[in-house]
Amino acid sequence: MSSPPLQAIPSDTASLADYERHAGTRLDVPTWAWLQGGAADELTIRANRDAWDRLTLHPRVLRRLAGGHTRTTLFGRTLAHPVILAPVAYHRLAHADGEIGVALAAAAQGAGLVLSSQASTRLEDVAQAIGSDPDRGPLWMQLYIQPDRAFTRDLVARAVASGYEALVLTVDAPTSGARDRERRTGFSLPDGISAVNLRGVRPSLKVSLRPGQSALFDDLLHHAPTWDDVAWLRSITHLPILLKGVLHPDDARLACEQGAHGLVVSNHGGRTLDTVPATAHALPRVVEATQGQIPVIVDGGIRRGTDVLKALALGAQAVMVGRPYVHALATAGARGVAHCIRLLRDEFEIAMALTGCATVADIGPQVLCRTD
């Protein structure tokens, strides 16, 4: 059976913002609200983007740049460039290509991929689709620790057996945020799309609440993970563990003390708690707190190659992008995702060259123009 033809990329697509514009016409209103929406008044979503925009760059001239490259290393592995696709649930909501298409696109462009535990495709199938590609980027697995710890142990074992190279533990969502935009549309998953890797997880036992008790504090949060669970996770796997959702320097220091192997400075794309700091503002403080002990990655509002450069100048080793590649997936399937990554990498190379940086190692605070 022949493969279906690749979907065409709209001819007026020159930036990640163009993919967002096209995706808005392709997804139904509830799905668009689920993807784009954030917590409460969505101030953090806007702050993420504004913070990158407010940082300005210092160009340099007449530098020796021939032979430069974007290669970097993480956990002893060489990456073609420091762009990683963040975990986003239910790719098949955006396009039939789903997680397989995203994985193939990431592999074709040498980008890292973090598969969501709420993926709509089996983790084994995603790994098998790209596992033999020698030029692919790293393949990591995102986790929420389930109340059913035995299920979580089995899920980790499946990831290890399938060749996933690290675990990304989301730590900033012991409860969901108040996502008004999503709730107004009545979003729900359509038939045929589900978190297939979480099938079989035993639901937590419901507590019979007494009058005046809270469904959150007196029930749900009894099962929320703690630092003890980070130690437990370390005890059941040899894979590196990154904590995703760290904004406070004290938590960064604790992560180092508890043996975390890396951090992702993230505010969950503005989807959990509104009015928290933009990740560009939190990043330098987290980097300082780690004192170079572990790598730091950042996400939240990355839309341009200049944002990637700014993130590395502030101390990040790599960036993650989430919504933009889903916009590209919704617009043009796997081909769109590959093009989205290429656009970001091309812009990053241009930004490097125009600030006098031939390699990632050349990028530092000196590329930022301080206006204070």
Report the C-alpha gap between 22 and 243 in whole angstroms: 33
Burial class (CB in 10 A: 0-12, 13-18, 19+), 183: exposed
Q: What is the pLDDT of residues 310-319, one digit of tens each?
A: 999 999 999 9
Give the DSSP H or E segment for 222. Answer: none
User: Tokens representing 60?
Assistant: 């340099």
Residue type, 294: I
> 2 pLDDT exceeds 60?
no
- Report, as an integer, the average pLDDT of 202-225: 70
What is the longest distance spanned by two Cα atoms in the chain?
A: 72
> 7 pLDDT exceeds 50?
yes
**Residue 283 near residue 184, CB atoms below 8 Å:** no
- Report, as an integer, the average pLDDT of 248-258: 98
Residues whose CB falls within 8 Å of the CB of residue 203, separated by 6 or more in sequence, listed in order: 147
Sign of torsion, CA 334 335 338 343?
A: negative
**Residue 167 near residue 241, CB atoms below 8 Å:** yes
Query: Does CATH place domain 17-55+76-199+216-351 in 2.100.10.30?
Result: no
Residues whose CB falls within 8 Å of the CB of residue 240, separated by 6 or more in sequence, listed in order: 75, 165, 166, 167, 261, 262
Length of the chain: 372
- Report, as an integer, the average pLDDT of 2-7: 59
Produce one character per residue of 122-139: b if its CB has 16 or more CB atoms within 10 Å, e if not. bbeebbebbeeeeebbbb
Query: What pLDDT does residue 219 have?
Result: 60
Query: What pLDDT does residue 1 have?
Result: 37
**Residue 258 near residue 225, CB atoms below 8 Å:** no
- Going through the chain in order, the beta strands assigned E by DSSP cover 56-57, 72-74, 77-79, 83-85, 112-115, 139-143, 167-170, 241-244, 262-265, 296-298, 318-321, 368-369
Which amino acids are annotated catalytic? 268
Query: What pLDDT does residue 224 have?
Result: 81
Lowest mean pLDDT, pick from 75-79, 180-184, 216-220, 334-338: 216-220
- Report, as an integer, the average pLDDT of 192-196: 96
- The pLDDT mean for the chain works out to 94
Q: How far apart are the first and last CA of the chain?
A: 62
